Chain A
Amino acid sequence: MSKVNGLTRRASLALAASFSALPVMGLPGTAQAAPVRGGKMVYGRYADSLFLDPVLNDANVDIWVMTNLYDTLLLPTNDGVGVQPGLATKWEMKNGGKTLELTLREGVKFADGAPMTADDVKWSLDRCRNPKNGPWTDLVASIDSVSIASPTMIVLVLKHPDPSILAALATFNTAVLPKKLFEAAPGTTDEEKAKAYAEKPVGTGPFMLSSWQRGVSMKLVRNPHYWKKGEDGKALPYLDEVEFQIIPDDSTRLLKLKAGELHGTEFVPYSRVKELKAEKDIRMELWPSTKVSYITLNCHPKLKDGTDNPLSNVKVRQALNYAVNKDAIIAIVTQGLGVPMTSFMSSTTPLHHKQTLYKADVAKAKALLKEAGFPNGFETSCMMVAGNQDGLNTLTTLQQMWAAIGVKLKIEQLDNPSLTKRYRAEDFSMRTASWTNDISDPGEITTYFAYFPNIGSLHSGWQNKKVDALYLASNEEVDVKKRAAQYKEIQEIYAAEAPIVFLYETPYPVAFRKNALGFVQIPLGNNLFETAYVAK
C-alpha cells in the first residue's frame, strides 16, 4: 500500500529460482566465511525516511528501515511467505481460531536497557489497532481485545477467525514500543507524542538511532541489549554502526559505490545492472520482491467528460492484453530482469494462483476488438508520472504494440500529486502503476485491486459481486485449502475480466562492494542489517 514514487512492497521460492544471481550469500546461516564483528557499513538510499513511528508512518522509506529499530511479536521469514518467532516464542490458536495465545520471549530489553513487559505489548497492540491511528489499522481490525494472562502470556480475542492475523503480527505496525517512554514524550495527543518519540525512537530492534540529519544522513548504532544471536553464538548485530546516506541521483549513488565511498546502495536502475555485474569489486544482488507493474484501466461505462468509454467492454480490455508482448516489454523496460505477471498478485504472495495470462496474439486481439464494435480501433490515453523512465519506456512500447490493432495511445505525463488527484477522482482512461505488499497475505492487495467497496478496485469502477463475496468469506476462512480455493477463483475471475493490463514482476536491485556481506532484503522490502558485516 505505502507508495513513494510509485514504489510499494512483498515473495516465494519459485520466483527466487527465476531471478539469476540470487544472493544466497546474503541469507543468514549460509555465509561462506565467519562474519566479522565491529565496524561501520555505509549504505546509499534514494530518499530519506520521514517518520519513524511504526503506527502513524505511511511510506516505504520508513517501513523498509524501521525493522532495524523495532521488533514485532512474530517476524516474517526471509523468503517472505511465512512467520517465525520474534518477541513471542510460541503461539497457539484456540477456540476455533477466535483466541490466540502468545508466549513472550523472556529477558528482552529495549535499547535503553529497560525490560520489555507484557504491559508494553498490550499497549502497543491497542495503539496500533485504534481506528484513529493512521492508515494501517485495517490490518489488525479483527482483534477484539488484548489481555495479559500472565507476565509472559498475551491473549488476543478476535471478532472472527482471521487467517491473516499471524502475518499481521509480523508486520511493522504491530511493533512493540516502550509504553512509559512513549507516554512520557511531550505533547497531548497520540500524534504529538509520536512526533516527539520518533525523533529518538527506542525499540527492541538490533540498532538504535544515534543521529539523523533530515535529507542527509541517518546513523544507527548497535543495540547492546539485542536478543538475537549470531553464528558465533554472541549477540547480534555484527556491525557497530550503519550509516544511511541520502543520495537521490541514481548516477551519483552508483559513482559513490564504485569509488568505495558506499558499501552498498538500493534501487539500481535496471539499465545499470549488467554494467555493475561486470565490475570486479561490486556484487549485484537481485532480491525477490512482491512488486508487480501493470496498467490500470478505467472500466466505467462513461469517462468523466461524459464520452463513452471503450474500456468498459471486457472484450476491449482482453484485446489490449492480447496485443501486449510481455517478454518484449520486459526486455525493453527491465533489461530482461523481470518475469511476466501470472496473476494480479506477485508469485511471491501466499495463495498466488499461477496462470498464463494473455499470451501475445495480435489476430485474437483484432478479432476481439471487432466483436466489441471497434474494428478500426479507437483513441485513448494513459497517465504516467512525468520523468519516470520505466513508465515512458513501457508506454512508448505499448503505443507501438497497440497501434498494430488500431488503438492510438496518447501519453500524458503528470507530476505525481496531479496524477494521484485525477486517479482518485477516477478521471482517467489508463495509468501506469506498480504495487508491493506490506503484509505476507493476499488480503491486502485483493482489497485494493479486486474488492470494490474499498477503493472501487483501484478506482477503475470494475465490480464483480462474486469476487466481493469470495473476498469477504476468505477473510474468515482459516482452512488454508478452502481459502486457497477462494483465492484461486478470485484470481481467475480477475484475469478473465482484465481490469488491468498485466505486465511484469521485478526484483529489488541492490548493489554491494564485494567485502560488504550479510545484508538481507525480504520480499516485503524490509532492509535487514542485523547480519550484515564488512569483511577485512
Chain B
Amino acid sequence: MNRGAWLLGRLAQIVPSFLLIGVVVFVLARLLPGDPMSAMLGDHASDATIARLNAQLGLDQSIPVQFLAFVEGIFRGELGVSIAYRVPVTQLIAERLPATLILTGLSAVIGIVVAVPLAFIAAMRENQWPDLVIRSVFQVGLSTPIFYVGLLLLTVFAAQLHLFPVGGYGEGWADHLWHLFLPACTLAFSFAAILMRSLRGAILQVLTAEFVDFARAKGLRSRLILGRHVLRNALIATVTLVGLHVGSLLGGAVITESVFAVPGVGRLMVESIFARDYPVIQSLTLVLAVLVSLAFLVTDIVQMWLDPRVGR
C-alpha cells in the first residue's frame, strides 16, 4: 500500500465517525431531562407557554425528523439558531472559536517548549538530582486541579504582581496573547507533565537501543547521536502524545476558560448544556470533533514523515 492510499483510507475512516458522533450527541442532548424553554423561562412559566415556544422551535417533532433537518442544514452551511442567544450558531462559534484555538495552541507550544528540554535533562541525569527535581515538580502538575492552578497563577502573577491582566481576552493579537498567557500556562501544566514523563521514558528506551550502542561504537560524538537518533525517535513519541492530547487540552479549556473569563467555545459549551441549547450543543460538538480528527490526521501525517515505517 502506498502512502497516498493510506491517507485516503484514514480520511474515509473519519466520515462515519462524524456521523456517529452527530447521532449520539443529537440524541443524548434530547434525552437529558428538561427542555430549552423550561430551562430558559425557569420555574414559573405556564405549561401552555412552554409547549407553544418549544413547538415554535420545532422540538415537538420526532427526533429522527429533527436530525434530518439538522443534517440538511449542515449541507446548506447552516447550523441553526441558538435558542438562548437568538443568533445563528455559526456566528456564535465563529466569535468564540479563535480564543479557544489560541489558548490551546499556546498551551501546546508552552508545554512542548518546557517539557522537551526538561525531558532530555531528566533522561540524561536519570535518578540524579535534576531528574528527581523535575519529576517531583511535574508530579504536582499532574495532581493539582486545573482551576486551582489557575486561581493561584491569577492571584500571584496578575492580582499581586500585576504582570498579567486578571482574565479576559483583550483586543488585537498581541493583547490576546498577553491575556491568554496565564491561562495557557495553567492548561499546559498537566499537559507538560504527561509529555515530560513519556518523553523521558522514550529517550531512556532509545538510549539503551542497540543502534545507539552501535553509533557510539562507531565513535560518533554524543551530540550527534542525540540529535540524529535519539531526538528523532523521541519526537515520534512526542508528536503522538501532542496529537492525542488535543482532545484533553480542549476539555481542559472548559475549566480554564471559566476561571480566566476567556470567551471560548469551552465556556459556550457549558453554558449551552445548562441552557439545553440543542443547536449549539450539537453543532459545537461536531466542530470540536472535526478539530480533534484533524489533529489526529496531522499527527498521522507528521508521524509518517518522521517514521518511515508508518504507512508502509
Q: Which chain A residues have a beta carbon within 8 Å of chain B's beta carbons?
A: 1-4, 8, 50-51, 58-59, 135, 191, 195, 198, 213-216, 245-249, 251-253, 255-256, 258-259, 261, 414-418, 420-424, 433, 448, 454-455, 458-459
Contacts and interface: CB of A to CB of B under 8 A. Distances in A.
A448 B40 CA distance: 17
Contacts of A455: 44, 46
A420 B276 CA distance: 12
**Residue among B35, B45, B260, B274 facing the most chain A CB atoms (10 A cut-off):** B45
A415 B272 CA distance: 13
B33 A245 contact: no
A277 B158 CA distance: 21
B204 interface: no
B40 to A, nearest CB: 6
B61 interface: no
B258 A58 contact: no
Interface string B293-306: 00000000000000
Nearest to B46: A455
Contacts of B95: 213-214, 216
A216 B263 contact: yes
Contacts of A8: 42
Interface stretch (B70-78, B80-88, B218-226, B233-241): B80-88
B35 A252 contact: no
Please list the 6 inter-chain residue pairs (A to B) with the smallest Cβ-Cβ separation, ordered nearest first. Answer: A417-B34, A3-B42, A418-B33, A216-B263, A247-B261, A417-B39
B144 to A, nearest CB: 16
B167 interface: yes
A258 B158 CA distance: 10
B276 A417 contact: yes
Contacts of A249: 167, 258-259, 261
A251 B169 contact: no
B229 interface: no
Interface string B6-46: 00000000000000000000000000111100111111111
Contacts of B151: 251-252
Contacts of B40: 58-59
Contacts of A215: 96, 263, 267-268, 271
Given A58-B41, A252-B167, A416-B274, A421 B267 contact: no
Contacts of B56: 191
A50 B84 contact: yes
B166 interface: yes
Contact of A213 (B47, B166, B259, B263): B263
B155 interface: yes
A253 B86 CA distance: 26
A471 to B, nearest CB: 16
A487 B200 CA distance: 75
B166 A259 contact: yes
Given A255-B155, A256-B166, A417-B33, A2 B42 contact: yes
A448 B42 CA distance: 13
B162 interface: yes
Given A214-B87, A252-B259, A417 B159 contact: no
A255 B154 contact: yes
B32 A418 contact: yes
B165 interface: yes
A82 to B, nearest CB: 25
B168 interface: yes
Nearest to A261: B166
Given A259-B158, A454-B46, 15 more contacts: A1-B44, A3-B43, A8-B42, A135-B45, A213-B95, A215-B267, A246-B263, A247-B167, A251-B151, A252-B259, A255-B154, A259-B166, A416-B34, A418-B33, A421-B38
A49 to B, nearest CB: 9
A198 B87 CA distance: 11
Contacts of B263: 213, 215-216, 246
B109 interface: no
B185 to A, nearest CB: 15
B35 A248 contact: no
A255 B44 contact: no
B229 to A, nearest CB: 47
B136 interface: no
17 contacts: A50-B85, A51-B86, A58-B41, A191-B56, A214-B92, A216-B95, A245-B168, A246-B261, A249-B261, A259-B159, A414-B33, A416-B34, A416-B274, A424-B38, A424-B43, A454-B46, A455-B46
B43 A423 contact: yes
B127 interface: no
A252 B38 CA distance: 30
A417 B277 CA distance: 11
Contact of A421 (B33, B44, B275): B33
B182 to A, nearest CB: 11
Contacts of B271: 215
Nearest to A44: B261
A455 B42 CA distance: 13
A420 B38 contact: yes
B251 to A, nearest CB: 18
A65 to B, nearest CB: 15
A213 B47 CA distance: 33
Interface string B250-268: 0000000011110100011
B139 interface: no
Given A50-B86, A455-B46, A256 B167 contact: yes
A195 B56 CA distance: 15
A1 B44 CA distance: 6
A50 B85 CA distance: 5
B205 interface: no
B274 A252 contact: no
A433 B42 CA distance: 11
A248 B274 CA distance: 14
B103 to A, nearest CB: 14
Nearest to A448: B44
Interface in B129-184: 151, 154-155, 158-159, 162, 165-169
A253 B259 CA distance: 9
B33 A195 contact: no
**Residue among B33, B49, B92 facing the most chain A CB atoms (10 A cut-off):** B33
A415 B154 contact: no
B166 A214 contact: no
Contacts of B44: 1, 3, 448, 455
Contact of A214 (B38, B85, B169, B259): B85
Contacts of B158: 255, 259
